[in-house]
């Protein structure tokens, strides 16, 4: 739990606003974000890197809500995108195209055209085939595409294998040993302008050493390119700095910046970093209501109205999120869980499987959580600001949740809850 979300007289609050009131006002499931937490997170990065020319490009995939993108744009952020749709979101939110870097292994012709016409800062090219296509597309538009190669340094990020992106076996980037030759090809292409080098080794990193190892390999390659007459304008060292979900001890932003700036000492290139989770992860929670308490033969279940379609991370990565009641009660000495039938409201302290209504055994929010709760209570799933709403779906024809931003003592609905009718409005019966 962060200082932005804390108990005040047994009421869990976002800043000073009780989350129970927001659940009542906007319903559940509902994502709630603290604007102070978001702004403070960005300013922490800006302060840490202020000693050299830099650009903080927020990784849009972490949370693409327009209100959040608009906030970061007003604070001066650039954006790291991985699709044409994310580019259009950034532009709709007031972001500057000339502060956008476009990553991703499968850019389509349409996406390339969109980005070229918008005049983005840089394409992070991830293969020789993509480079050839981008040269052709830029030529068809009479434009020059600014590029960096995303170099795969074969550095172990020491994170979950699904979010590790910098090893030889991963689909991302250009192999380190092949990058120098591909840079030479790029420099000779008529519709390509080499501007930088990109490297991103994974997400939720909790140590500084992998960042430094990757930076050192990038710098060595940059020096080789200088020998070839290819002088880089910027070095994009990616993102991936982790947050605390349970008992992790990730580096502070200041420690992370100190390590990178130390590696870059004496260099002239502009530095780009791409934080995502670190900016938004602990700035948001998911509110969910307990529909029923159920005693199974081996386990007790708290059946809530949020599900894997609302928060995919537990089912996808077996990820841990702290789960807290928005109103704390003293546990009673009852011998059985509080009834879901509406009469009994006693709360016995028990270990619960917190699960959703989706028809999958993998539909869970948390395992073995010690809670004193009753049916109808609201729970807060903590550290849900990153890869929560952005990965949500309509599985089981479930509308996606509402989103609320708390700003200056007031709560603003920044995304309306979807309606069932909207889910099939574009379908047709033949």
Mean pLDDT for each consecutive 10-residue tract of the chain (430 residues)?
88 97 98 98 98 97 98 98 98 98 96 98 96 98 97 69 47 87 97 96 88 92 96 95 93 96 95 97 98 91 98 95 96 60 69 96 95 97 98 97 95 98 96
- Measured in whole angstroms, how far is the alpha carbon of residue 56 from the centre of its chain? 15
Q: What is the pTM of this model?
A: 0.93
The one catalytic residue among 13, 30, 122, 359: 359
The angle at the Cα of 406, spanning 306 to 313, to the nearest 5 degrees, equals 30
Question: Cα–Cα distance between 131 and 220 in angstroms, integer?
Answer: 22
- The binding site for substrate comprises 277, 313, 317, 360, 387
CB-count burial class (<10 Å; 0-12, 13-18, 19+) for 394? middle
Sheet containing 11-14: which strands, arranged edge to edge? 5-8, 11-14, 17-18
| pLDDT at res. 246 | 93
Q: Shortest CA distance to 101 belongs to which of 277, 280, 273?
A: 273
| pLDDT at res. 83 | 98
Give the CB-side neighbour count of residue 220, counting CA atoms within 13 A: 9
Domains and CATH numbers, the chain: 5-33+281-423 (2.40.37.10), 96-275 (3.20.20.10)
Query: How would DSSP label each residue in 88-150?
Result: HHHHHTT--GGGEEE--S---HHHHHHHHHHT-SEEEE-SHHHHHHHHHHHHHTT--EEEEEE
Q: Residue 368: which region, alpha, beta or left (left: phi > 0; alpha: psi -120 to 50)? A: left
- The binding site comprises 240, 274-277, 313, 317, 360, 387
Establish whether 359 is a catalytic residue: yes
**Residues 6+ away with beta carbon under 8 Å from 23:** 30, 287, 289, 326, 378
Angle between helices 128-140 and 176-188 (to 10 degrees): 20
Report the greatest alpha carbon distance in the chain.
Answer: 78
* The token pair that represents 373 in the structure block: 């709760």
| pLDDT at res. 165 | 45
| pLDDT at res. 352 | 97
Within 10 angstroms of residue 415's Cβ, the number of other Cβ atoms is 17
Secondary structure class of 255 (helix, strand, coil): helix
How far apart, in Å, do the first and last CA atoms of the chain sit?
A: 51
Question: Cα–Cα distance between 295 and 292 in angstroms, integer?
Answer: 10
**Residues 6+ away with beta carbon under 8 Å from 103:** 80, 81, 82, 124, 126, 150, 198, 200
- The binding site for pyridoxal 5'-phosphate comprises 240, 274-277, 387
């Amino acid at each position: 739990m962060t200082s932005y979300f804390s108990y005040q007289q047994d009421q869990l609050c976002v800043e000073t606003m009780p989350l129970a009131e927001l659940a009542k006002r906007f319903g559940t499931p509902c994502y709630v974000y603290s604007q102070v937490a978001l702004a403070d997170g960005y300013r922490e990065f800006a302060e840490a890197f202020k000693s050299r020319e830099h650009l903080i490009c927020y990784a849009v995939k972490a949370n693409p809500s327009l209100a959040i993108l608009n906030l970061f744009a007003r604070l001066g952020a650039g954006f790291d995108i991985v699709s044409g749709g994310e580019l259009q979101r950034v532009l709709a939110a007031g972001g500057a195209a000339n502060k956008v870097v476009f990553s991703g292994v499968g850019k389509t012709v349409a996406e390339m055209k969109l980005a070229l016409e918008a005049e983005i800062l840089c394409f992070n090219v991830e293969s020789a085939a993509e480079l050839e296509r981008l040269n052709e597309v830029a030529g068809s538009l009479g434009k020059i595409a600014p590029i960096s190669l995303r170099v795969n340094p074969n550095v172990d990020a020491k994170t979950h294998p699904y979010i590790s992106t910098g090893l030889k076996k991963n689909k991302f980037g250009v192999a380190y040993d092949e990058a120098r030759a591909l840079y030479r090809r790029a420099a000779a292409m008529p519709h390509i302008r080499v501007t930088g080098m990109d490297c991103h080794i994974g997400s939720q990193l909790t140590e500084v050493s992998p960042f430094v190892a990757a930076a050192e390999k990038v710098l060595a390659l940059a020096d080789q390119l200088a020998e070839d007459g290819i002088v880089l304008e910027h070095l994009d060292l990616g993102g991936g700095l982790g947050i605390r979900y349970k008992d992790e001890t990730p580096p502070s932003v200041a420690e992370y910046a100190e390590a990178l700036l130390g590696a870059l000492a004496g260099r002239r290139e502009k530095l780009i970093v791409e934080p995502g989770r670190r900016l938004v992860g602990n700035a948001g929670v998911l509110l969910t209501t307990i529909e029923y308490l159920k005693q199974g033969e081996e386990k007790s279940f708290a059946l809530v109205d949020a599900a894997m379609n609302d928060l995919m991370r537990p089912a996808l990565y077996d990820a841990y999120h702290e789960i807290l009641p928005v109103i704390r009660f003293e546990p009673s000495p009852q011998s059985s869980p509080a009834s879901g039938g509406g009469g009994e409201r006693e709360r016995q302290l028990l270990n619960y499987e917190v699960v959703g209504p989706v028809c999958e055994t993998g539909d869970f929010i948390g395992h073995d959580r010690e809670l004193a709760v009753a049916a109808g209570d609201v729970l807060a799933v903590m550290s849900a600001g990153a890869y929560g709403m952005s990965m949500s779906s309509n599985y089981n024809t479930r509308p996606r949740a509402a989103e609320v931003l708390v700003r200056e003592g007031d709560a603003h609905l920044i995304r309306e809850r979807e309606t069932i009718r909207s889910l099939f409005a574009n379908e047709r019966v033949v």
